[in-house]
Amino acid sequence: MRPRVQLTSPRLWPALLAVVVLLPAALAVQVTFPIEPYWRTYLLQEADTIMTIGEQIDNFQARRRFACPLGGPEDIHMPPDAYPRSLTFLLRVLVNVWQNFGAAIDRMSSPPATPTVARAELRRFGFASVEQAEGVRRTLADYLKDFVDLRNQITMFAWSIDRVPGHTFPVGIPPFANIQALALMIEDASVVNGNVTLDTDGRRAFINMFKRAYDTVGEIADEAADAANDMRTLMLSDAFDALVTDRDPFAERPGNPQQPAPESQIIEEEQLVPYEDEQNVQLGDQIQLEEQVQFEPEDQPIGPWQADDEEIVLETSEIESFELDEAEADGQRLEWTVPGIFDRIETIADCWEQPLWDIYDLVLNMLGPIPDLSPPTWTERVVDIL
């Protein structure tokens, strides 16, 4: 299995990585200072780093919109032809597998099936008893519940990150304006009457948002790898492959030819996964985060970027090929099998990981401190001229 970004960005967050020392939350205060010279000097000194952060935000947005989208009605930026690559579509396919497997288990049971039909169905799937089949189905349901929870968590992070400007995102706003807005947002700062006001804990909140998003994506990747390995043992046969239906969301459907299934149906309709312990999980449920970072810069200061900056055009062809390239590196990824679908989910997580890590690392370790408002310090030195 291809190693992810662990060589350059381990999922553990050791203190040794923290080159920039952040103030403890208890010591956070609001400070106000004039744009000239403090904020302008800061922007001039940190321009390269802030623009690099913006480019990585562009990279993340392009990947999550085109190459590896979340999918679903809340993913308003996803183009329709990207839906088959989305996490929501893959989860929908797995829910259909779970439901189809339930129908197969009914055929293994006598009654309602005849003993001959029941024995034939058990042999077809390679089970010695109905209890074994039900245990495998329960394992699949457990994984589905985990992925639904993780999907809801990363959706909440995606909504927050969508508010963060990059270099060319939002499209239509000059890059220099986006970068200035990004510099303010990193510090949770605002500009009023020529002064910048910021919270000294604002950068910590920005960093933590990307750290939590990265951690969640890492959970998705690890869980998908574990699920794929388990399913290669439990659900890899021609009988299970036949349960993977509805692979093409754009296939013709009665009364609605060549149209994808409504996304509201993908999320809500018949998506309950009942457990033996009578728990339920629904793809439409939303998990509310205890801490959501809200950034609303009121204005944009004058900065070192000029209005005639050349507009950067996103080259999405390389990004759009990410999923295919990664799939070709592992033959299982292109197979429409149960473990192969989990491999595809891992690929989506891989697609998100690197830009999230880069943003976190750049803000934490490369971006310089906020302007120092302390007065100059004078020292005396006695020089012997003899």
Cα 64 to Cα 350: distance, rounded to the nearest angstrom? 11
Cα 62 to Cα 20: distance, rounded to the nearest angstrom? 29
Cα 249 to Cα 259: distance, rounded to the nearest angstrom? 8
First to last CA, the chain: 73
The pLDDT assigned to 289 comes to: 23
Cα 120 to Cα 129: distance, rounded to the nearest angstrom? 12
Q: Report whether 34 contacts 195 (CB < 8 A).
A: yes
Residues 6+ apart with CB under 8 A from 208: 291, 293
Sheet of strand 189-192: strand arrangement: 30-34, 195-199, 189-192
Cα 155 to Cα 100: distance, rounded to the nearest angstrom? 28
Q: Collapsing DSSP states into helix, strand and coil, what is residue 45?
A: helix
State both tokens at 172. Answer: 């239509």
- The domain locations on the chain are 5-10+29-248+281-366
The pLDDT assigned to 275 comes to: 33
The pLDDT assigned to 8 comes to: 39
Residues 6+ apart with CB under 8 A from 11: 214, 215, 218
Burial code of 326-346, b = ≥16 C-beta within 10 A, e = fewer?
bbeebebbebebbbbbbbbbb
Cα 139 to Cα 218: distance, rounded to the nearest angstrom? 21
Amino acid at 308: D
Task: State pTM to two decimals.
Answer: 0.72
Residues 6+ apart with CB under 8 A from 38: 196, 371, 373
Q: Report whether 58 contacts 167 (CB < 8 A).
A: yes
State both tokens at 347. Answer: 């690929």
Q: What is the DSSP string of 252-276?
A: -BTTBTT-PPPHHHHHTTT-----T
Cα 243 to Cα 73: distance, rounded to the nearest angstrom? 26
Cα 53 to Cα 51: distance, rounded to the nearest angstrom? 5
pLDDT digits (tens), the chain, 386 positions: 334 443 334 333 333 333 333 444 446 688 898 998 899 999 999 999 999 999 999 999 999 888 999 887 777 878 888 888 899 999 999 999 999 999 999 999 878 778 899 999 999 999 999 999 999 999 999 999 999 999 999 999 988 998 999 988 787 778 788 899 999 999 999 999 999 999 889 999 999 999 999 999 999 999 999 999 999 999 989 999 999 986 666 544 333 333 334 333 333 333 433 333 333 333 333 322 222 223 233 333 333 333 333 333 334 434 444 444 444 444 444 578 999 999 999 999 999 999 999 999 999 999 999 877 766 566 666 666 66
Peptide bond into 260 cis (omega under 30): no
Q: Which DSSP category does 195 fall into?
A: E
Q: At what angle do helices 130-161 and 202-234 cross, to 10 degrees?
A: 160
Cα 242 to Cα 199: distance, rounded to the nearest angstrom? 57
